[in-house]
Amino acid sequence: MSAPFYKFGMFGDEALLIVAFLLGIGFGFFLERAGFGSARKLTAQFYFRDLAVFKVMFTAIVVAGLGVFYLGWAGVLDVSLIYMSPTYLVPQIVGGLLLGIGFTIGGYCPGTSLVGVATGSLDAVVYGLGIFAGIFVFGEIFPAITGFFTSTAMGELTLPQAFHLSYGLVLFAVVLMAVGGFAGAGWVERRMAAKDAAAANAAAAQEA
Amino acid sequence: MTTTATRAVPLDAPVRSAERAEPHVRAAAPYSNPYLAGIGLGLVLLAAFVVTGRGLGASGAFSSVVAVAVEAAAPVHAAGNDFFAGYLGTSPLKTFLVFEVLGVLLGGFASGALAGRLHRRVEKGPRISTTGRFALAFVGGGLMGAGAKLARGCTSGQALTGGALLNAGSWAFMLAVFAGAYGVAWFVRRQWR
């Protein structure tokens, strides 16, 4: 058992910042590779035209999830030392709804907006200013909503714990769901492309 | 959805001199296969878990910047607010997420440069003005900022990181994000399509 390296004191707080910077480079690089610096590419997900958001996200979740599971099982990684954000169910659902609405209206999420900014998207710059404004407003009203913010506290809670199932079984279900979702995503994309092509043909025929 | 589509959008912003001299000499490379990009992203996330014992994030860095700005403008007010005070300290910008986000900017820039995808542009469909797009971008960013704080993280810190750890709150959050995003799509379709 020697990982997480930082938790076992293999490097200090200053070096952690360098590591964070390097991880960020990898994160930003693959987001841009996927096309996630483009708001049109990202939002096409929500019109069923291009489901790359789903494909990339769930591939990453499956890869990292399986990696954590197998490294833990092999005794290399102490999974209990990985930080888990505690669950506050209702505020997280309401926050998620707000965030999803903001995603389609604004075209990005915080991480992808940075990639948009880095590659020259001016709307991503405006979007980033909007994030600052939203956080500022949230901070200003925070004293009034602290009760809601801390409501339905469930502590550190995993899906296997919540449903009284084994960790491996839930992870296996997630992998199956992802693979099924990938097949379904390809089918939806082909269907919508055919529909768009038919509509374009009909419009062209009307003009002629 | 190709990059040429976004390039065709007329820009009213000034064109950089280098671009004026050689307008789009290099054709932009196509985006990566989503599954390959997803594997890359997953390995970066796994590396974060193994090396640092925590996942990735983004919105927390925005919060640090806002808290520092509020403290500069009104120090007493910032100190008296539990939310802002939580992000403040002796060196509030020397955080994991602030450094990570600087890396995201560099990594995104590097990938865009290698693929010939760096150009000043406005991402929008053909049926909305640039001003209209900017207005919606600001509103959407605002909702995203507030929502991410209420949920204690965004697509990176909750959906991706918590998703891989099978975090119950993160999965509830993720379903809500997709519900909200699909639920509002019809109303803003003219912005994108």
Q: What is the pLDDT of residues A95-113, one digit of tens each?
A: 999 999 999 999 999 999 9
Structure tokens at A54: 């789903």
CB contact under 8 A, A139 and B96: no
Residue A173 has pLDDT above 80, yes or no: yes
The pLDDT score that the predictor gives to residue B13 is 45
Distance CA A107, CA B46 (A): 27
Q: Would you call A88 helix, strand, or coil by DSSP?
A: strand
What ipTM does this complex have? 0.96
CB contact under 8 A, B13 and A122: yes
**Which residues does residue A158 pair with via DSSP β-bridges, in sequence order?**
B167
Q: Number of C-alpha atoms within 13 angstroms, CB side, residue B149?
A: 30
Question: Residue B1: which of A40, A100, A134 has the nearest Cβ?
Answer: A40
Q: Number of C-alpha atoms within 13 angstroms, CB side, residue B46?
A: 22
pTM value is 0.91
Residue in chain B lying closest to A99 (CA): B144
Question: Residue A25: which of B106, B176, B181 has the nearest Cβ?
Answer: B106
Q: Residue A178: which residues within 8 A CB-CB, separation 6 or more?
A: A58, A59, A61, A62
Q: Best mutation site among B15, B31, B123 for testing chain A: the one with the most A CBs within 10 Å?
A: B123
Reported as a pLDDT band with limits 50, 70 and 90, residue A208 is confident
Question: Residue B121: which of A5, A77, A121 has the nearest Cβ?
Answer: A121
The pLDDT score that the predictor gives to residue B4 is 46
Phi, psi of A155 (to 5 degrees): 70, -165
- Average the pLDDT over B102-118 and give the result: 97
- Tell me how close the Cα of A57 comes to any Cα of chain B, in angstroms: 6
DSSP B12-58: -SPPPHHHHHSTT-SPPPPPPPHHHHHHHHHHHHHHHHHHHSS---S
Reported as a pLDDT band with limits 50, 70 and 90, residue B16 is very low
The pLDDT score that the predictor gives to residue B25 is 56
> CB of A102 within 8 A of CB of B142?
yes
- Average the pLDDT over B61-73 and give the result: 96
Residue in chain B lying closest to A22 (CA): B103
Residue A175 has pLDDT above 70, yes or no: yes
Question: Residue A118: which of B82, B109, B174 has the nearest Cβ?
Answer: B109
Residue A202 has pLDDT above 50, yes or no: yes
The pLDDT score that the predictor gives to residue A6 is 94
Residue B144 has pLDDT above 80, yes or no: yes
CB contact under 8 A, B47 and A26: yes
Residue A79 has pLDDT above 90, yes or no: yes
Amino acid at A57: M
Amino acid at B122: V
Residues A67, A71, A77: CA angle, nearest 5 degrees? 120
Structure tokens at B38: 């997803």
- Average the pLDDT over B13-25 and give the result: 48
Q: Residue B138: which residues within 8 A CB-CB, separation 6 or more?
A: A106, A126, A127, A129, A130, A133
Residue B2 has pLDDT above 50, yes or no: no
Bridge-based pairing state of the strands A153-155 and A87-88: antiparallel
User: Which is nearest to A104 in space by CA: B46, B2, B137?
Assistant: B137
Residues of B in contact with A168 (CB under 8 A): none
Reported as a pLDDT band with limits 50, 70 and 90, residue A12 is very high
Residues of B in contact with A55 (CB under 8 A): 34-35, 38
Residue in chain A lying closest to B190 (CA): A105
The pLDDT score that the predictor gives to residue B29 is 92
The pLDDT score that the predictor gives to residue B19 is 47
Average pLDDT score over chain A: 96
